[in-house]
Structure 1
Amino acid sequence: MEIRDAHFPGRAPLDAYGSGGFRFANMSHRGSILCVPSGIYGWDPVSFSDLSIEAFARVLEEQGDIEVLLVGTGPDLRPLPQPLKQAFRDAGIISDSMSTGAAVRTFNVMLSEERAVAAALLAVE
């Protein structure tokens, strides 16, 4: 049996979040997700303390196609650590942290406006 990383090859609005996961494109995913121009990926972090520069490697790989990164920090707003914010700034990416629900809503609006947006979203129950 071959196990592959969760990946949806394309951009899609997020239809729902909660119960530990997300729904999009007539599919569901349990756990956190990363939405970048190349697609929607399962994302390893499960809590705010898991957010590190390594966790955002795919975002930095696609930096030329991303202007704004929304970071859903779980049920509550948590400011990103300064080293992370600086790494995004150095890559030319504006980062904005907010609760996961607010990030989902903002991502959908920006996606509908065809903005160069990405989202890193921690799953919430």
Structure 2
Amino acid sequence: ATVRRHDPMGPASSGETVVEAYASWGFTVSGVALEGAVLLLPKASFFFSTPHIGLLTPDALRVLELLDTPINMLVIGCGRQSQRVPADVHAWLDQRAVAVEALATAHACSTFNFMVQEQRSVAAVLFPLGSQDVNCNAS
């Protein structure tokens, strides 16, 4: 598997989460290799059990409701190309005033890193490049 280095702004200096590399198997986040999908916050990273965006549900994101400081943006890395966010997920995020940006994973990594550097209230769900590319037709 090819690992693509990815950190245009250099390493994080204050304990911030930074995506350093991505590949078909997963991600290197703040020096730690994480296999599969991940949920990232500005100062924490977690394994994410949903394997691809086609199976993403509001229940999978409910952990975001437990945060002391709510996020106002969710960046989703969909795999090799951008995909539509499932309609129920989009509605659930709208109800919580959370903007969503679904991008190819490479672009989502850059966007998340930039927003963390800017100290924005952001989270990311990143699916690896090898995740099943399923096009969800949101209505």
**TM > 0.5:** yes
The CA deviation at 1:38 is: 5.9
Between Structure 1 and Structure 2, which shows a larger proportion of helix residues? 1
The CA deviation at 1:50 is: 1.7
Unmatched runs of 5 consecutive residues or more in structure 1 = 1-9
SS in 2 for 1:123: coil
1:119 to 119, 124, 129: 124
**Residue 83 of structure 2 contacts residue 103 of structure 2 at CA under 8 Å; is this kept in 1?**
yes
Asked whether 1:50 is paired with 2:42, we answer no
Q: Distance in 2 between matches of 1:120 and 1:72?
A: 6
Which contiguous aligned blocks of 4+ residues in structure 1 show a shift greater than 4 angstroms? none
The C-alpha deviation readout for 1:5-58, integer Å capped at 9, x for no partner, is xxxxx6411101113111122211111100125621000111222211111121
Unmatched runs of 5 consecutive residues or more in structure 2 = 1-14, 131-139
Q: Percent identical across equivalent pairs?
A: 24
1:88 to 93, 97, 107: 93
Question: Who is 1:61 aligned against?
Answer: 66
SS in 2 for 1:44: coil
**Residue 57 of structure 2 contacts residue 88 of structure 2 at CA under 8 Å; is this kept in 1?**
no
Could you tell me the TM-score, scaled by structure 1's length?
A: 0.84
Could you tell me the TM-score, scaled by structure 2's length?
A: 0.76
Deviates more, 1:55-64 or 1:102-111: 55-64
Number of aligned positions between the proteins? 116
Alignment RMSD: 1.7
1:18 to 16, 19, 23: 23
The CA deviation at 1:65 is: 2.3
